[in-house]
Structure 1
Amino acid sequence: MDDTDCTHGRFSPDNWQFGGRGMPQLCKALQKIALIIPYRNRDKHLKTWLHYMHPFLQKQQGDYGIYVVEQVEDSTFNRAKLMNVGFTEASKDYHYDCFIFSDVDIILMDERNLYRCSQNPKHMANSLDKFNFRLPYQTLFGGIVAFTKEQFLKVNGFSNLFWGWGGEDDELYNRVVAAGMKVERPNPNISRSRVLTHPRDPGNEETRMSLHLINKAAQFMHEDGLNSLKYEIVSHTKHKLFTKITVNIGSSQQ
Structure 2
Amino acid sequence: MRREHYLLVNGYSTNYWGWGGEDDDMFKRIINKQLILDRPPASLARYKMLKHVHQKLNPSRMKVLRTAHNRIDSDGVNNVIYTLLNISSYHLYTHMLIDVGQQPTS
> Same fold per TM (> 0.5)?
yes
Please give the secondary structure, in 1, of the residue aligned with 2:44.
coil
**Residue 89 of structure 2 is aligned to residue 229 of structure 1:** no
**Residue 11 of structure 2 is aligned to residue 157 of structure 1:** yes
Letter in 2 for 1:223: S
1:214 aligned residue? 65
Letter in 1 for 2:33: A
Query: Contact 1:175/1:221 (CA < 8 Å) preserved in 2?
Result: yes
- Distance in 2 between the 1:242 and 1:150 partners? 18
Correspondence list, 1:1-254, <5 A: 147-193=1-47, 201=54, 204-238=55-89, 243-253=94-104
Query: Contact 1:174/1:214 (CA < 8 Å) preserved in 2?
Result: no
Q: TM-score, normalised by structure 1?
A: 0.36
More displaced, 236-245 or 213-222? Answer: 236-245
RMSD of Structure 2 on Structure 1 (CA): 2.8
Q: Where does structure 2 lack aligned partners over 5 or more consecutive residues?
A: none
Cα gap change, 1:190 to 1:152, in 2 (>3 Å): same
Report Cα offsets for 1:14-50 as digits up to 9, x if no partner.
xxxxxxxxxxxxxxxxxxxxxxxxxxxxxxxxxxxxx
Q: Where does structure 1 lack aligned partners over 5 or more consecutive residues?
A: 1-146
Structure whose alpha-carbon radius of gyration is higher: 1
1:189 deviation in Å? 3.2
1:233 deviation in Å? 1.6
Please give the secondary structure, in 1, of the residue aligned with 2:97.
strand
Same amino acid, percent of matched pairs: 27
Query: Contact 1:176/1:183 (CA < 8 Å) preserved in 2?
Result: yes
1:253 deviation in Å? 2.6
- Distance in 1 between the 2:91 and 2:35 partners? 37
Cα gap change, 1:246 to 1:178, in 2 (>3 Å): same
Report Cα offsets for 1:51-74 as digits up to 9, x if no partner.
xxxxxxxxxxxxxxxxxxxxxxxx
